Amino acid sequence: MKGFTLIEVLVSLLILSIVAAAGLSSISFSTQSFLTLKDNFYNSTIAENVLLLSYYDDNFLTNNITSQQEVLMGSSYIWKRDINIDKSQNSLSISVEVNSELQSNPYKLEIFKTIK
């Protein structure tokens, strides 16, 4: 007789299903890691842009906008800016917090600027 027995076919299907499940799990983890990295990159880019504009552009620094929504590559991000004045050291503390749809914890950056 030629061919495979029912037991051999079932064992090969079991091995194939285990390998397929491991492969799908790996792809799912890789996709989630990519989305997290992409979201972190966009959060940091928005925070850095707001900080740089606040630092170098006095009109942007004094425009009284403390929060704004940005859409970057189809995803929505909300940034909040907080400015504190330290008169004893003649400096400003400018902090930016960026929240995204994907992550629950915000991304925060802070910079200091001396005032005249």
Mean pLDDT, the chain, rounded, equals 89
The reported pLDDT for the residue numbered 1 is 67
**Any idea which residue has 């630092």 for tokens?**
55
Average the pLDDT over 32-48 and give the result.
Answer: 90
Please tell me whether the overall predicted TM-score, pTM, comes out greater than 0.85 for this model. no
In this structure, the dihedral spanned by the alpha carbons of residues 33, 35, 37 and 39, taken in order and rounded to 10 degrees, is: -150
Per-residue pLDDT tens over the stretch 44-97:
999 999 999 999 998 888 888 899 999 888 889 999 999 999 888 889 899 999
- d(C-alpha 103, C-alpha 38), whole Å: 11
Question: DSSP per residue over 10-32, as a string?
Answer: HHHHHHHHHHHHHHHHHHHHHHH
The reported pLDDT for the residue numbered 36 is 86
Q: What angle do CA 80, 86, 90 make, to 5 degrees?
A: 120
Domains of the chain with bracketed CATH: 6-114 (3.30.1300)
Contact 64, 81 (CB under 8 A): no
